[in-house]
Amino acid sequence: MNYTAEDELLIGRRWDELVASCKRAKICRNEEDWDFIRRAFFLAKEAHKGVRRRSGEPYILHPIAVAMIVVNEIGLGVKSVVAALLHDVVEDTDYTVEDIEQSFSPKIAAMVDGLTKMAGVFNTEASMQAANFRKILLTLSDDVRVIIIKLADRLHNMRTLGAMPLNKQIKITSETIYLFVPLAYRLGLYAIKTELEDLCMKYRFPKEYEEISRKIDDTESERQAYIEKFITPIVEVLDRDNIKYEISGRIKSIYSIWQKMQRKQISFEEIYDIFAIRIVFQALPFPSEKTQCWQIYSSITDIYTPNQNRLRDWISIPKENGYEALHSTVMGPDGIWVEVQIRTQRMDDIAERGFAAHWKYKHATISQDEDELDKWLKKIRNALNGPTENAIDFLDNFKLSLYTSEIVVFTPKGKALKLPNGATALDFAYEIHTNIGNHAIGAKINHKIEAVTTRINSGDQIEIITAETAHPKPEWLEVVTTSKARQSIKSFLKREQQNNIERGKQMLSRQLEHSNVMLNGRVLRKIMPAYECRSKDELYSKIGAGIISLDNLDKLLKENASKKILKFWKLFIPGSGSDPNIEDDNADALPSAGTQQEPEFVIAECCNPIPGDAVVGYRDTEHNRIIVHKSNCETLTKLAAQFGRNIVKEEIKWSQQKAVSYLTSVELHGIDRAGIILDLTKIITSDFSINMRTISIQSHDGIFEGTISLYVKNTEDLNALLDNIRKIKGIESVKRLINT
């Protein structure tokens, strides 16, 4: 089907806009470059002829829009514009990578190939989305521009996501927030990262998005008046010192405001740092940029008193994505803390446009030194060229390399190392060398002996204590934060498990031979439940590791194991427990999707949604059940990013048929006093007739903190309870834990 005359006019206008953008950016050096771009446009237009997007617009408008983002918002050149125009041609039409190579060049063909999704790269059990993402990442070994074009593609898809059905929106936003957002950050594309986050929130949580957006608009005039009041004396000082600068008040993104509200469970009105002041200045040749930044900082702190705990020096040690700036929080007029960001024009370009600006300045200074982005890309390339693992593990490990908050620690000889915030001495050990991590038994942190699992802080000096007899433990996987540490531990444990499996299988075979029994499937099905093992490999591994003793094997073989089988499977079928606070017949109280097929509904243990929570269903096809998660559950986001096809299309609703109690947890902080626990338990058990599962309170230096696990019927009852707890004398804060 051909495009209409109106379609052709619209396509022509968008093409003219792209040409104008290329001219403004001065990316074409000669007529050959222009011809390269024109040929790409006409080939893409012909390839996508008559095809429309879900929104109804001609499909060719999408690659044009991606190319516009590449030019205007990132600042890449001719080859990237051509690849952006052609990025869907091989995937969606009859054109092949070979056709692209013949018509353009091997480099363009390689870039388009990297941008083309590829089915069947990994085994069918792996997530196709994860496999596709790895396919794209493999191009990092050759050309990082492929990743950046993919981010531009994702940005335009997010801008037009409204045309998609709800389950597709959940899948795409989950992929975006789980991987594309941290990837954009890691490549220094801050503006794109921020917009992606806001768009994810707009489609996943539209009500909250609109509410925060409205409140930002409502407070605009008041905020602008304060900003003018705050910057007036700063402007006077900068003008006096003949500094060329731009100063502005930047509003925090809607997503970051919402995240803070969620994390601290506070209202919009309680957030004091809605905006920050940014000073971008033209640096002089001398003294150094670093010195000039500190001079401006000194002038500002002559006016306003700084908070020493909120000083962030990313000039002396830039972030791993190359970000450089000086951030300080100062006490402004009317007792309000205000963040001030100081950066040069070069720093600002890199902060906003990331990779493209990074290379522009690198080439301008003819610097051959490795900077932070170079080091990260080198690390990723090494990982990509390492042993092949399944796509899901690869995806998880790659995400660990996208951490956004860093600390700087030191070796005994004073070498600085960057690690993610929250890293342990064990992460440090593996960062030094895999063998040091594998044989670590402890650490000297600032000359004091600590456990190897101890969390380390910025500025710590660390020495790892090793022993040849020490080996990685499975529980280490729960504490490490870097992909290198996790991969090294997994590799060792996998080798160890394989050895245990072989050893355990031989031990079981020999023991069975003594009883004149052959090792076969029937025997395994009989003894596995007795040893509480879900697979034969688990059984063999535990036998080989000495966890399971075979001393009573003869007795087990003679017994009727049916009762043990029943007991074992009760432990592993979700919802089949016998908790006294939950009615036996749960099915009617669980959410209903209004389908006649009646799959089993299971409450997700990771987030424990309760009636009143917005929920999303994830289909577990293997067990014919739907696992119900809170809509903002991090585990759901990860699942949707990896297995988006399993998100339930229908809206999940809570049934009103039966009053059933659901488990949730709350966190409390306050000033300790005699009788506060008594007051607390009276309100919960007597006034609200709510059963408590556990209560844990710790008190120190007159302050207490703790958690309480409760069985409640719905969010309305829970919120009413929390409101009453807040009225207790000494209670400073009480909130529902986000992940429960």
584: pLDDT strictly greater than 70: no
- Is 254 found in the same domain as 135? no
Do 401 and 383 meet the contact criterion of CB atoms below 8 Å apart?
Answer: yes
Here the tokens at position 81 are: 């514009």
CB-CB neighbours of 478 under 10 Å:
8
Q: Which of 109-123, 368-382, 491-505, 508-522 has the highest mean pLDDT?
A: 491-505
Confidence of residue 123 (pLDDT cuts 50, 70, 90): very low
State pLDDT tens for residues 69-86.
999 988 888 988 999 999
Percent of the chain with pLDDT over 70: 82
Nearest to 482 by CA among 369, 551, 406, 546: 406
The residue among 89 and 125 whose pLDDT is bigger is 89
- Is 105 found in the same domain as 46? yes
**Which residues in 252-320 belong to E strands, given as ranges?**
275-281, 305-306, 312-313
Is residue 427, in this structure, part of any structural domain at all? yes
Domain of residue 567: give its range: 490-572
505: pLDDT strictly greater than 90: no
- From 19-23, 115-119, 229-233, the region with the lowest mean pLDDT: 115-119
DSSP, res 4: P
Here the tokens at position 237 are: 């000082």
The pLDDT of residue 122: 34
Is residue 423, in this structure, part of any structural domain at all? yes
Rounded average pLDDT over 434-455: 90
The CATH number covering residue 685 comes to: 3.30.70.260
Rounded average pLDDT over 556-585: 38
Beta bridge partners of 130: none
Nearest to 213 by CA among 278, 274, 276: 274
State pLDDT tens for residues 718-733.
889 998 998 888 888 8
State pLDDT tens for residues 649-707.
777 777 654 556 788 889 998 888 888 888 888 898 888 888 888 888 888 777 888 89
The pLDDT of residue 573: 27
482: pLDDT strictly greater than 70: yes
- From 192-206, 226-240, 522-536, 589-603, the region with the lowest mean pLDDT: 589-603
Walk across the sheet containing 440-445 and list its strands. 448-450, 440-445, 462-466
Of the candidates 533, 553, 572, which is a domain's last residue? 572
- Is 160 found in the same domain as 222? no
- Is 406 found in the same domain as 447? yes
Spatial neighbors of 240 by CB under 8 A, at least 6 apart, are none
The pLDDT of residue 343: 95
- Is 344 found in the same domain as 261? yes
Catalytic residues: 91-92
The residue among 724 and 406 whose pLDDT is bigger is 724
The residue among 170 and 360 whose pLDDT is bigger is 170
The pLDDT of residue 566: 30
Whole-angstrom distance, CA of residue 277 vs CA of residue 332: 11
Is residue 259, in this structure, part of any structural domain at all? yes
Spatial neighbors of 358 by CB under 8 A, at least 6 apart, are 188, 322, 350, 371, 373
Beta bridge partners of 329: 339
- Is 336 found in the same domain as 227? yes
The residue among 240 and 405 whose pLDDT is bigger is 240
Rounded average pLDDT over 309-330: 87
- From 197-201, 534-538, 656-660, the region with the lowest mean pLDDT: 656-660
Is residue 127, in this structure, part of any structural domain at all? yes
Of the candidates 130, 154, 189, which is a domain's last residue? 189
Nearest to 662 by CA among 630, 634, 632, 639: 630
602: pLDDT strictly greater than 90: no
With 0-12 / 13-18 / 19 or more C-beta atoms within 10 angstroms meaning exposed / middle / buried, residue 590 is: buried
- Is 530 found in the same domain as 674? no
Q: Beta strands 440-445 and 462-466: pairing type?
A: antiparallel
Rounded average pLDDT over 289-317: 92
Do 436 and 464 meet the contact criterion of CB atoms below 8 Å apart?
Answer: yes
Phi then psi for 324, rounded to 5 degrees? Answer: -130, 135
Is residue 104, in this structure, part of any structural domain at all? yes
The CATH number covering residue 264 comes to: 3.30.460.10
- From 6-10, 143-147, 338-342, 695-699, the region with the lowest mean pLDDT: 143-147
The residue among 272 and 246 whose pLDDT is bigger is 246
- Is 548 found in the same domain as 458? no
Whole-angstrom distance, CA of residue 387 vs CA of residue 272: 48
- Is 707 found in the same domain as 672? yes
Whether the predicted model's global pTM rises above the 0.75 cut: no
- From 257-271, 345-359, 504-518, the region with the lowest mean pLDDT: 345-359
Element (H, E) at 706: strand 703-712
The pLDDT of residue 696: 85
- Is 497 found in the same domain as 432? no
Beta bridge partners of 592: 653
Q: Beta strands 275-281 and 337-344: pairing type?
A: parallel
Rounded average pLDDT over 27-31: 88
Confidence of residue 356 (pLDDT cuts 50, 70, 90): low
188: pLDDT strictly greater than 70: yes
567: pLDDT strictly greater than 50: no
Rounded average pLDDT over 478-484: 85
Is residue 368, in this structure, part of any structural domain at all? no
State pLDDT tens for residues 608-657.
888 888 888 888 877 778 888 888 888 888 888 878 888 887 777 776 54
Here the tokens at position 345 are: 């024009």
Rounded average pLDDT over 274-297: 93
State pLDDT tens for residues 208-235.
999 999 999 998 899 899 999 999 999 9
Confidence of residue 571 (pLDDT cuts 50, 70, 90): very low
**Number of domains, the chain:** 5
CA angle 292, 293, 297 (to 5 degrees): 115
The pLDDT of residue 133: 60
The CATH number covering residue 157 comes to: 1.10.3210.10
Is residue 444, in this structure, part of any structural domain at all? yes
Is residue 150, in this structure, part of any structural domain at all? yes
Of the candidates 489, 512, 527, which is a domain's last residue? 489
Whole-angstrom distance, CA of residue 402 vs CA of residue 399: 5
Confidence of residue 545 (pLDDT cuts 50, 70, 90): confident
Q: State CA 625 to chain mean position distance.
A: 27
Mean pLDDT of the chain: 80
- Is 483 found in the same domain as 505? no
- Is 474 found in the same domain as 516? no
